[in-house]
Amino acid sequence: MAAPFTLPIQVVEAGRLSAWLVEDHSVPVVSLAWSWPGGAARDPQGGEGTAAMAAAMLSEGAGGFPALAFADALRDSAIQLGFSAGRDSFEGSFRCLTEALPEALRLVRLAMTAPRLDAEALGRVRARAVAAARQTLESPRGQAGRAFWAAAFPAHPAGRPATGTAESLAAVPPEAIRAALAGQIRGEGLLIAASGAIRPDSLAALLAELFGPLPDGAPAPPPPLPAFASFGRAVVEVAAPQSQVVIGQPGIAPHDPDWEAAQVVLRILGGGGFSSRLMETVRVQRGLTYGIGVGLDTLFGGGVVTGAFATENARVAEALEVTKAVWSDLAANGPTAAEVEETVAFLTGSLPLQFTDSRRIAATLLAMRRNGRPLDWLSGRTARLEAITAADAKRVAASLLKPEALAVTIAGQPIGL
């Protein structure tokens, strides 16, 4: 039996703010991560990518520092700073040596309270975002994914590209970015996590200094994830010798009591590399694809099971048939006891690898907070996983996997479909 993995998580309070802290003075480094609700969910219809561009602009100059001077100031003190807009959250993080912490606080506070939004920097950020959107969304894989989410959630922000399209990004005006930041960067609604060489009293002072100057109020919470629209099959015509296929179905929310058992089932189905059933059946036995994987996307408080693969146009129908057969078999019969034992051993044994440095620890603590986990969730995870039996996994496979509800988008020129 694997030894339980634990982290000594402390709760640090500073007025209206609180943070989870894993204190470790073995290396003189501090990492901080924080988030607000919102992100791409706040983007207006037709303005997809506004939040993503706004996040990018926060490190493109602030206060009296133009973009290059701001980057030089961060580099001179070896401060790593970043902001990002997810589908339902807006996040920031930094990492620095303890001796650089005062400078880090000064620069990060400036970024949040006095972003410059200079025209030259905005033009550069916009050009980079448009190029990335074209590369991502206009590829067959991107087109398949975009069509999948749009069909699964047609009237919800989950159905729109979080990073925007080339067209929407090109049309976002500077005032929209400024308004997005004003509504997003607030003094309330924050979830905060920290790790490294900092004591609770010092962290409490840091929280007040960094987030105290922010305006009162919190961003409005994003709308909850609606029911998955099982739309059947959709084909996006793309002139290519291969088709990119995205498949999916309703999943479960992070707070579901069967969360751990679902992770076991999905790893057996398509998340375990060459040990998964789909890789064995679709690639190894039949050579229908180079790779196929399945996982659980969590967003807007819910979950969606998604998978993807690519194959020759002439073999798409066969690959889909085999994939659905594997899906149906696991739903009907569940995994074997040996599969459950092997998967539990991997999940419990690999858990410590998520905590190899302060940045990963802070990010994981923040994810725990966003998913509503209790403080002792990690310390009890090994026991919860090891308690899962083959009968438990069979029950969860039957309730989770819905082959009849599988939705499929194909970008290419599939033959026979």
Torsional class of 164: left (φ above 0), alpha (ψ -120 to 50), beta (otherwise) = left
pLDDT of 18 strictly over 80: yes
Range 106-127 average pLDDT: 97
For position 236, what pLDDT does the model report?
96
DSSP track, 275-292? GSHHIIIIIIIT---S-E
3-state secondary structure of 122: helix
Tokens encoding 192: 């905060």
For position 71, what pLDDT does the model report?
98
For position 6, what pLDDT does the model report?
78
Dist CA 363 CA 11 (whole Å)? 16
Instruction: Give the H or E element holding residue 68.
Output: helix 67-76
Domain 233-353+371-412's class?
alpha beta
pLDDT of 35 strictly over 60: yes
Tokens encoding 150: 């749009």
pLDDT of 1 strictly over 70: no
Give Cβ neighbours of residue 287 (< 8 Å, ≥ 6 apart): none
CA dihedral of 353, 354, 355, 359, whole degrees rounded to 10: 130
Confidence band (pLDDT; 50, 70, 90) for 3?
Answer: low
**Domains 9-211 and 233-353+371-412 in one fold:** yes
In the chain, where the domains are located: 9-211, 233-353+371-412
Tokens encoding 213: 């100057």
pLDDT of 2 strictly over 60: no
Neighbours of 317 (CB within 10 A): 15
Tokens encoding 284: 């190894």
For position 7, what pLDDT does the model report?
86
For position 59, what pLDDT does the model report?
96
Range 104-126 average pLDDT: 97
Instruction: Give percent of the chain with pLDDT exceeding 90.
Output: 94
Confidence band (pLDDT; 50, 70, 90) for 352?
Answer: confident
3-state secondary structure of 309: strand
* Range in 13-22, 238-247, 352-361 with the lowest mean pLDDT: 352-361
Query: Whole-number mean pLDDT of the chain?
Result: 95
Confidence band (pLDDT; 50, 70, 90) for 4?
Answer: low
- For residue range 177-224, list pLDDT tens digits in order: 999 999 999 999 999 999 999 999 999 999 999 999 999 999 999 999
- For residue range 129-149, list pLDDT tens digits in order: 999 999 888 889 999 999 999
Entry pTM? 0.93
Check: CB of residue 14 under 8 Å from CB of residue 187.
Answer: no
For position 138, what pLDDT does the model report?
81
For position 242, what pLDDT does the model report?
95
Which CATH architecture fits 9-211? 2-Layer Sandwich (3.30)
